[in-house]
Copies of this chain bind each other. A is one copy, B any other.
């Protein structure tokens, strides 16, 4: 094979949104797989907020992406050449493929898994990928959501948030309130996703709306955004209320840490719990969540939305959508 391999590499560390100085397109030649490896033609990329955190030069749960390295990213591709018994040409596989045309996968660190038959790749990236897994384990395992809970989720029109809202309803939450930006997203949350109420943080006073929608307080708040909304929700917890910290998209682009939530102190009076998690810790339980999600999908109980951006070269714009709120549902790049 001497196919051209376009790669998007980190040229310099961003200080805010990603732009043309941050990521550069370079061209090379697709590598040949050696023993135990396979070459995968990347077809779709999963665009997740955490990619932005990997661009910073700070220690995290994974090492930062190095300058000159391909942007790390989940994706789905087709095996085009294989020297491994695990992969056959034509297989569709799922793994950390990166922002490039061709990726090498193996049975070790760069392993890839098959995607369920009958599910379109962008849908698989959404509900069976880190998005769906994050929603499922964050809500049920970290948050230990109980039947009857009043659940509030921010970033509710985003990929993870929209799954959280629906799984909460499916698991018997007494009330699900989604927080999102703008009337269109809020209408979608109520009319399509089935949220009991939606709060438009751009036009509503979040605290006032929460007080009227959740007069007994919030049993479980699933936080995707951090910042003021986290602080407001901490101030409205019910006794034994829980906050699941999934991320803090409102602050990932900041150069320095903002002030934290002053209302953390409410965790004392309310005997509350705030807990973070990293979905990679659940890798060996993904199959459990995927089975549940596949069941809901085939029963028609799960709405999913994918926001497709065409062209590898537009992956940085796709990533920025997450921070400007330009998407509804999962952002996927069709390479």
- A271 contacts B by Cβ under 8 Å: yes
Q: Kindly list the 5 A-B residue pairs having the minimum CB-CB distance in the complex, ordered from nearest.
A: A260-B260, A259-B259, A268-B276, A267-B276, A257-B262
Task: For A226, list chain B residues within 8 Å (CB).
Answer: 265
Task: For A273, list chain B residues within 8 Å (CB).
Answer: 273-276
**Contact in complex: B274, A265 (CB < 8 Å):** no
- A97 contacts B by Cβ under 8 Å: no
- A112 contacts B by Cβ under 8 Å: no
Q: What is the minimal beta-carbon distance from A260 to any residue of chain B, in angstroms?
A: 3
Bound CA span A269–B62, Å: 9
Known: A259-B259, A260-B263, A271-B277. 8 other contacts (CB 8 A): A245-B265, A245-B268, A259-B260, A260-B262, A267-B274, A267-B276, A268-B277, A271-B278
Task: For A281, list chain B residues within 8 Å (CB).
Answer: 271
Bound CA span A276–B243, Å: 12
Q: How many residues of A contact B (CB 8 A)?
A: 32
| Selected A-B contacts with CB under 8 Å, 11 pairs | A60-B269, A245-B265, A245-B267, A245-B268, A248-B265, A260-B260, A260-B265, A267-B274, A271-B275, A274-B274, A274-B275
**Contact in complex: B268, A260 (CB < 8 Å):** no
- A246 contacts B by Cβ under 8 Å: yes
Bound CA span A245–B270, Å: 11
Task: For A231, list chain B residues within 8 Å (CB).
Answer: 260
Q: List residues of A whose CB falls within 8 A of some B CB.
A: 60-61, 226, 231, 245-248, 251, 257-278, 281
**Contact in complex: B264, A261 (CB < 8 Å):** yes
Closest B-chain residue to A252, C-beta based?
Answer: B265
Bound CA span A281–B270, Å: 11
Bound CA span A266–B264, Å: 14
Bound CA span A61–B266, Å: 10
**Contact in complex: A271, B262 (CB < 8 Å):** no
Bound CA span A231–B262, Å: 12
Known: A261-B264, A262-B258, A264-B261. A269 touches B274 (CB 8 A): no
**Contact in complex: A268, B278 (CB < 8 Å):** yes
**Contact in complex: A267, B271 (CB < 8 Å):** no
